[in-house]
Structure 1
Amino acid sequence: MPVEPNVLVVAPDHRDLTSPLSRHGYRVTSTATGAAAVRLLDAHDVDLVVVDVDTPDLHELARGQRTFSERPPVLAVTACEFLGDLVPVLGTRIEDYITKPCRSAELLARVQVLVRNRAAAGRADVLRHGDLLLDDVVCRAWRADRMLGVTPAEYRLLRHLLRNADRVLSKEQLAWHLWGESRDVNAIERMVSRLRQKVDRTPPALIHTHRGFGYRLSLAE
């Protein structure tokens, strides 16, 4: 059986954070101080740190951080809505944050994304572009925490666009990649339209049309 991710919760009152995580199968360790969090990080393998920025002696956690490549990602829980305000507090990079009062559904969604991204970081069979992630093992695609539900053909098309990110691919090139033959360009147009409804349902748009040329997958307009 797969081992569930280990989450360290650092918060003065951790019940609102630990309870939903435990219910959803995460292995949760909690502490109320930054100094204790440093000791736990040194003693245990941790996949994610969830930190309430109102934790006492939080500077100890920042001081005790290992190098960026060694430490787990940090999800901050804060009353402020500007991530830049948190950097001086933690003294380190923060991958994501949620604002108080914390809703369980939002907490679980953010934790799922960060844990999945960390697990995928070292895998050659996972492709990423911004918040778009493709897993070649299961042939599934996600946009942030949302599974896209693409068909096999749509997955191959999206994968080809991602592997050629920031390049314009013609409809003929896409048809040859998908079917090994030239087809009516309307078939590609219909498939791109369906794919765009799934991928670009939430902004920013990733699939861009270049009239008279083809399509491009890019974070840039």
Structure 2
Amino acid sequence: MRIALLEDEHEQAQNIQAILADRGHHCDSFPTGQTFLSAVLHRSYDLLILDWQIPDMTGIDVLRSVRAHLNWPIPVVFLTQRDSESDIVQALDAGADDYLAKPARAAELVARINALARRSNPDADKEVLTYGPFEINTQQRTIRLHGEELTLTDKDFDLTLFLFQNQGRLLTRELLLERVWGLARDINTRTVDTHMSRLRRRLGLNPENGFRIKTIYQRGYRLEAIQAPQKHPADHSRTADA
């Protein structure tokens, strides 16, 4: 997973990064609330770890800003020296998913993170996923729209599945290359743009089918659920009245 850590003490940040890297996770660390928020709102992370007491704002303020500005429920863990019941309740009420007291115990921290990752993607083990008129069979690797099977390449299928499983979330080109193509982030990102343009046409991502791929300028893409336009019987009623 890609994890963002808010921790102003350099030694502690390095320790947590080492624990997570040893378990195969990538962790970026930030010492202030402003630098953390700037990264989280402009990049793609799978999970956030917050300290409470930081120089420029509180971890609670950071959490509230994350919940107010992100369009998907990213998992958030508090890791802090504050461990009173009232502190825990306040953090959970503000939108935290879990709460741990420092110092971090490596095995417990990783176990909590893995548990949150599983809960944040409850459809991961399902064979058939349904999103409006789209039906995705993860075993047969097929996608149907209104019951009709679509003709897609293997990469188109992988990209479509990742988009739907992360709808509402900003997905940077670098993240898509990493998760869908398995490539390093310094590869030419035009590959992603080409596939996205093709998917818009092949999947029929339009208001009639309830979804669209929105391009986020200089950042990436986001799959959004939208309401289909309603048909108004106004013309018929006017004809009847006449």
TM-score by length of 2: 0.44
Structure with the higher helix share, 1 or 2: 2
TM-score by length of 1: 0.48
